[in-house]
Amino acid sequence: MKGCLIAILFIVLLFFGPVGWICAAVVGIILLASSGKKKK
C-alpha cells in the first residue's frame, strides 16, 4: 500500500513541481504525526 502511495506522490511531484513537493511534505508530516499518535 505504501509503495502505491509513494508512486502516486512521485508522479504528482513530476507534474506539479515545487507545489507538489510542498503538498507532499505537508501530507508526510500529517502521516508521521498521525502514526506517532497511534503508537503512543
| Residue 40 confidence (pLDDT) | 60
pLDDT for the residue 1: 67
Residues of the chain short of pLDDT 70, as ranges, are 1, 39-40
Task: Count the helices and strands in the chain (H runs, E runs).
Answer: 2, 0
| pLDDT, position 7 | 86
Cβ count near 10 (within 10 Å): 11
DSSP structure string for 2-14 = HHHHHHHHHHHHH
pLDDT reported for residue 12:
76
pTM, whole model, 2 decimals? 0.48
